[in-house]
Chain A
Amino acid sequence: MESSKQAKLTTLRDAIATHVADGATVAMEGFTHLIPFAAGHEIIRQGQSDLTLVRMTPDVIYDQMIGVGSARKLVFSWGGNPGVGSLHRFRDAVEHGHPHPLELEEHSHAGMAARYTAGASGLPFAILRGYVGTDLAKHADMATIACPFTGEELAAVPALSPDITIIHAQQADRSGNVGMWGITGVQKEAALAATTTIVTVEEVVDELTPRGPNHVVLPSWTLAAIAPVPGGAHPSYAMGYSRRDNAFYTRWDRISRDRDVFRDWVEEHILGTEDHASYMESIDRGAGHV
């Protein structure tokens, strides 16, 4: 172990270029709240491919990455557009192999949460009372194990230890400690389970000042890089900074349903913008007519 590590304060472009390689296993977490969309867009711009993408809820962020062909494999537990319906690029990949076949590794939420917890705990697997009586047990990477004390049969699922975890948080202080609050999902576990963790933040502050419940702190020495990206969760949100763009999630249904409309949208708003600030400008311009 290196000593006195500290997260590097850098740009998102530099963080992604430095840490995300072709073929990597990447977890980009955020349970509806604090989804690191700007980082997903930057990976699309830089074109890393053959990725194993890990996320409990693939959401629109992975629909976009799957649609452009970034992913070889998806590890997940619920693949819908929350409150809207299907993820059409995900479905097109699974149902028709477009733009190329997508390998699936599928679990339940409880299983994924347990897997990250095992990864963060340095254990090879997690146990839970799960998957009972389901067909998921036949397809998920799981086994049953007998409790050595009571003999109860339990589900065992392998630890998740991503090469890179990327999350979005509200704040970092000048030493690189990160603070997030509100719905924090599995981000703490995903960050501590990974070899390398990148965090995009709304702002850098002198002192972490939570403005909501459930304040979670990740110390600087557990993180590799921090990039300030205001609004970096859009169309997801950051409690205390922005509201969820529910209208965008609804519009996404139409954009993603058709391969050409999707491709044009990516060309205009992701590949046609140089960073997140210009993405936000292009979205504001396009909101009325997409």
Chain B
Amino acid sequence: MFEVQPTLPSYSSDEMMTVTAARFLSDRQVCFVGIGLPSEAANLARLSHAPNVVLIYESGTIGTKPDVLPLSIGDGELAEKAEFVVGVPEVFAYWLQGGRIDLGFLSAAQIDRYGNLNSTVVGGYEEPKVRLPGAGGAPEIATSAGEVIIMLRHSERAFVPSVDFVTSVGFGRGGEGRPERAGRGPTVVITDLGVLRPDQSSNELTLVATHPGVSLEDVRVKTGWELAIAPDLAITEPPTDGELEILRDLKARTIVAHGG
């Protein structure tokens, strides 16, 4: 356990989130990666403690080792630095559905207490308040990957009692459990405030750690349901200097590469 410092942290909440997620990847795992924070976390892991992690993007780039973070899922960098490139039908059929993926990353606009995710609409489907991009690869990542890591910033709008649409299934609307023949589903949810894991018996997401300087009240206020708290609630280890240096170098290279 580390001691809480009275000074402001020298890292951002997004950096805390990315570093925490990276630590959940182990070397030689095969990982299906999306754009944004998951891509940052996966590449941080690759550049630090997991040099042999295999990163697969849904554009069909397999075993890719980008020098800079891609802006889009189909940036040239991903193809140029890939061990090989396949078509999109193959990446979903042989590699994801075929059971070759250990770990998938997902995010969404909404999550409920059973790890079900919505990236389709806010409001009703026929007359949406906000039309979101939709499913993409998520529904099958949620069921075909060995396990799923969810990254989502904490807010009452995102952590809702009931998602408006189940785009990707966690443990079902009533927490009834995983579909037959599916992977383990969400094993961890990493937010800018802490870490949640599904309870072994109830499947309900339970706060297992808060990030340094975050109070229980902070998390409760931004969670739209009565949040379950683990009895042995931990505090996340803050980012090390080494982790921050690698992450910041990566992001600085990315900004230069994308022309600011």
**Which residues in A have some Cβ–Cβ distance to B below 8 Å?**
31-33, 56-57, 76-80, 82-83, 86-87, 90-91, 94-95, 106-110, 113-114, 116-117, 128-136, 139, 152, 182-189, 212-214, 216, 237, 239, 243-244, 246-247, 249
Sample of 4 further A-B pairs with CB below 8 A, known A183-B78, A213-B82:
A83-B35, A109-B140, A129-B143, A184-B60
User: Which of B86, B96, B140, B172 has the most A CB atoms < 10 Å from its CB?
Assistant: B140
Q: Are A78 and B181 in contact (CB under 8 A)?
A: no
> Within the complex, what minimum Cβ distance (angstroms) separates B127 from chain A?
8
Residues of B within 8 A of A183 (CB): 59-61, 74, 78-79, 85
Closest CB pairs A-B (n = 9): A32-B74, A133-B169, A80-B133, A78-B136, A82-B72, A83-B71, A214-B85, A113-B89, A110-B92
- Determine whether B243 belongs to the interface, using a CB cutoff of 8 Å to chain A: no
Q: Which residues of A contact B82 (CB under 8 A)?
A: 213
- Residues on the B chain within 8 Å of A130, using CB: 97, 139-140, 143
Residues of B within 8 A of A187 (CB): 87
Q: A133-B143, A213-B82 are in contact. Are A108 and B135 (CB under 8 A)?
A: yes
- Chain A residues with CB below 8 A from B165, complex form: 135
How far does the alpha carbon of A165 sit from the alpha carbon of B105 in the complex, in Å?
A: 32
Check A91 against B85 for contact (C-beta < 8 Å). no
Partner of A214, one of B60, B138, B144: B60
Contacting pair B79 A78 (CB below 8 A): no
> Which size class do B's interface residues fall under?
35 or more
Nearest-CB distance from B121 to chain A (Å)?
Answer: 9
User: A33-B76, A212-B80 in contact; A185/B138 too (CB < 8 A)?
Assistant: no
- Asked if residues B131 and A32 are in contact (CB atoms below 8 Å), the reply is no
CB–CB B181/A152 < 8 A = yes
Q: Are A132 and B143 in contact (CB under 8 A)?
A: yes
Residue of B nearest to A184 (CB): B87
Using known A-B contacts A31-B59, A82-B35, A182-B85, determine if residue A243 contacts B76 with beta carbons closer than 8 Å. yes
Q: Is the CB of B120 within 8 A of A136?
A: yes
Chain A residues with Cβ below 8 Å from B120 are 106, 135-136
Give the residues in chain B near A131, CB-CB below 8 Å.
139
Chain A residue numbers with a CB within 8 Å of B75 are: 32, 244
Question: Which B22-44 residues sit within 8 Å CB-CB of chain A?
Answer: 35-36
User: Which of A77, A86, A152, A182 contacts B135, CB < 8 Å?
Assistant: A77
Closest to B59 in A: A183
Check if A213 sits within 8 Å of B79, measured CB to CB.
yes
Contact A106 B88 (CB under 8 A): no
The 13 listed contacts between A and B (C-beta, < 8 Å) are: A33-B74, A77-B134, A83-B72, A108-B135, A109-B136, A114-B93, A129-B144, A182-B79, A182-B85, A183-B59, A183-B79, A185-B59, A185-B88
Q: Name the B residues within 8 Å of A128 (CB-CB).
A: 92-93, 97, 140
B72 touches which one: A32, A106, A189, A247 (CB < 8 A)?
Answer: A32
A189 to B92, CA, bound (A): 14
Q: Are A132 and B169 touching (Cβ within 8 A)?
A: yes
Q: Which residues of A contact B258 (CB under 8 A)?
A: 246
Residues of B with C-beta under 8 A to A188: 87
Q: Assess whether A109 is in contact with B135, with CB atoms less than 8 Å apart.
A: yes
| Whole-angstrom distance between the Cβ of B61 and the nearest chain A Cβ | 7
Let me know if A213 and B74 touch, CB within 8 A. no
Are B134 and A133 closer than 8 Å at their CB atoms? no
Question: Does the CB pair A244–B71 fall under 8 Å?
Answer: yes
Contacts of A86 in B (CB 8 A): 133
Residues on B with C-beta less than 8 A from A87 are 133
A117 touches B144 (CB 8 A): no
With contact pairs A134-B168, A183-B78, A216-B87 given, residues A78 and B139 touching in the complex (Cβ less than 8 Å): no
Q: Is the CB of A134 within 8 A of B139?
A: yes
Residues from chain A with a CB closer than 8 A to the CB of B143 are: 129-130, 132-133
Q: Is the CB of A106 within 8 A of B135?
A: yes
For residue B73, which residues in chain A have a CB less than 8 angstroms away from its CB? Answer: 31-32, 82
Give Cα A108 to B92, complex, Å.
Answer: 11
Residues of A within 8 A of B71 (CB): 82-83, 244, 246, 249
**Complex-state Cα separation, A134 to B182, whole angstroms:** 13
> Residue on B with the closest CB to A83?
B71
Residue of A nearest to B75 (CB): A244
Q: How far is the CA of A133 from the CA of B183 in the complex (A)?
A: 13
- Taken together as a complex, chains A and B put the C-alpha atoms of A220 and B122 apart, in Å, by 46
Nearest opposing residue in chain A for B70, CB measure: A83
A182 proximity list for chain B (CB < 8 A): 76, 79, 85
B252 close to chain A: CB less than 8 A:
no
C-alpha spacing A214/B82, complex, angstroms: 11
